[in-house]
Structure 1
Amino acid sequence: MMDSSPHKVYHEHDFDSRQHLDQYFSDKPDMVFGDDVLKFPIENLREVFTVGHINGDILVDLSLGSLVHQLFSASEFFKNMIVLKANNRCIMELKRWVDERTGAFYWGHTSTLLQEKEENRDQFEDKEGKVRSAIQHIVKYDLEKENMTEPLVLPPADCVISAGLLEVISKDQDDYIRYLRKFSKLLKPGGHLILVGILGTTYFTVGNDKFHVFTCDEDFIRKVLVGEGFIIDYCKVKERTVVSDLIDFKAIMIIAAHKEK
């Protein structure tokens, strides 16, 4: 059943990627989402890549807005990353950070989330540099095209990571399955898919705009992955701890799976 809500749709309407970062991922004192949307993904993604031995030549990132923290751990295992973005504002914001331009969003506060795990406290600066160096291409995508990056044809990826995206681009279950299928087509046989999902959500707010989110739970995502030929290797769920009207999510999930050859 199609969602009839008046909320905006992420990839169809104007999306202010900088305000999104400021509201949900900044180091401002009133930013209350740190444990849920920063610490939990960063710590679990580090474990996913390390314990799962996920590595290779090419990683493709399909994530919400202009996020980069999901790539910190990946940069230790992939030297070539291709980042796909929905609109020009997201591309410009990410390029500002990659090129270290004045006014780029500051991700340095996330270093404290990694320092406990790293023996060398200087490694985070190296990690930011590794991510910048690894991002080889930033490409705009169109979900309705058979080849999302037309006219470019991407090489098959060893890993696709997607943070917070599938739920905001999907209007219903059929959409979710269709887009997941598109994402999985980017993988080579045996490739890995890592999803950072937002569960039990109906909306999120950026500035004065409310954006649609497809409401789903862990069981649904597991069933879809298995139905698409994936074997699930890792799954962790964190119940919401933050109090805020900006978004009504119930939990954050990290799930990693590999495609059967």
Structure 2
Amino acid sequence: MMASSSHKHYHVHGFDSRQLLEHYWSDKPDETIGEDTLIFPVENLAKTFTEGHIKGDILLDITTGPLVHHLYAACEFFKHIIVLKVSDQCIMELKRWLDTRTGAFDWGHATKLHIDMEGKSDELQNKEEKVRSAAQHVMICDFEKENMTDPIVLPPADCIITGWLLDAICKDQDDYIRYLRKFSGLLKPGGHLLLIGSLNATYYTVGKDRFHALTCDEDFVKKALVTEGFIIDSCKVQKRTAMSDLTDYKGVIFIVAHKKK
């Protein structure tokens, strides 16, 4: 196996956004890890938001790649969803779907999963329209800048969703805590952080390239959150359900936490 030091880094080297979606989030018959990347997060997000205590004006989405499925549950509870991406390619891929352009990735399987959970099988198109309406603010960001969206200063968010991002951009555990601190700075006191990530991974593959993944376990993630002033409301971990050479993660974590007031 290639040494991790020679793996590429998502926010530095970039990747083919469409290949990422095809590899990890499609509904193709040979898609083997959808239970972990799609069903587990969707079920937990749906349960979290339907409990009704996480809502407000602004949801900040800081997630790897041009993902959409995690926003279906959230769009009912926030007036505005602001999406931050590190590359123009990710933004273009996401905007294809948001603007219903020809050639956009088909998220229909994720939409159906949501509405089936809600028991509203006749609202397929309506659900997608709600996501598109809420997620009209898509911006480039640079995690190394003090203000990641410079020159634009974002208003404090009521909630942040971050999925599979800290695993991808952090070269070590100090980085993880540093970026987590930056995310905390974007939240209102008492605001919520919903974190989805892979556990004990060393790499993931997009196309022919292997990318770095930070190796961390449940204990580290929880300690990092507490260190940065978060109170953990719930934590769910799912052990890996399927084998794939695309990546070597051992499990998926879903944490709901809120920032101390």
Q: Under TM normalisation by the shorter chain, which class is it?
A: over 0.9
- Quote how far apart the aligned CAs of 1:113 are: 2.2
Instruction: Give the Cα–Cα distance (whole angstroms) in 2 for the partners of residues 147 and 52 of structure 1.
Output: 31
- Quote how far apart the aligned CAs of 1:46 are: 0.7
Runs of 4+ in 1 over 6 A off after TM superposition: none
Q: Is the 8 A contact 2:86 2:142 kept in 1?
A: yes
Question: Which residue matches 1:11?
Answer: 11
Question: Which residue matches 2:114?
Answer: 114
Instruction: Give the Cα–Cα distance (whole angstroms) in 1 for the partners of residues 121 and 52 of structure 2.
Output: 24
Secondary structure of 1:12 counterpart:
helix
Secondary structure of 2:252 counterpart:
strand
Secondary structure of 1:214 counterpart:
coil
* Range with bigger deviation, 125-134 or 82-91: 125-134
Question: Which residue matches 2:174?
Answer: 174
Instruction: Give the Cα–Cα distance (whole angstroms) in 2 for the partners of residues 210 and 164 of structure 1.
Output: 15
* Range with bigger deviation, 110-119 or 203-212: 110-119
Percent identity of the aligned residues? 63
Q: Is the 8 A contact 1:193 1:256 kept in 2?
A: yes
Counterpart check, 1:234 vs 2:226: no
Query: What does residue range 199-214 of structure 1 map to in structure 2 within 5 Å?
Result: 199-214=199-214
Instruction: Give the Cα–Cα distance (whole angstroms) in 1 for the partners of residues 89 and 44 of structure 2.
Output: 29
Q: Is the 8 A contact 1:48 1:234 kept in 2?
A: no
Instruction: Give the Cα–Cα distance (whole angstroms) in 2 for the partners of residues 108 and 46 of structure 1.
Output: 17
Instruction: Quickly say closer, same or farther: Cα 1:197–1:116, change in 2 above 3 A.
Output: same
Secondary structure of 1:254 counterpart:
strand
Instruction: Kindly report the root-mean-square deviation, in angstroms, between the aligned alpha carbons of the 2 structures.
Output: 1.2
Question: Which residue matches 1:145?
Answer: 145
Q: Is the 8 A contact 1:233 1:258 kept in 2?
A: yes
* Range with bigger deviation, 28-37 or 81-90: 28-37
Instruction: Give the Cα–Cα distance (whole angstroms) in 2 for the partners of residues 120 and 207 of structure 1.
Output: 36
Question: Which residue matches 2:243?
Answer: 243
Structure 1 residues without counterparts, runs of 5 or longer:
none
Instruction: Give the Cα–Cα distance (whole angstroms) in 2 for the partners of residues 74 and 250 of structure 1.
Output: 27
Instruction: Give the Cα–Cα distance (whole angstroms) in 2 for the partners of residues 50 and 122 of structure 1.
Output: 19
- Quote how far apart the aligned CAs of 1:125 are: 2.4
Name the count of aligned residue pairs: 259
Structure 2 residues without counterparts, runs of 5 or longer:
none
Secondary structure of 1:104 counterpart:
coil
- Quote how far apart the aligned CAs of 1:127 are: 1.7
Instruction: Give the Cα–Cα distance (whole angstroms) in 1 for the partners of residues 51 and 221 of structure 2.
Output: 22
- Quote how far apart the aligned CAs of 1:122 are: 2.1
Amino acid at match of 1:157: A
- Quote how far apart the aligned CAs of 1:4 are: 5.8
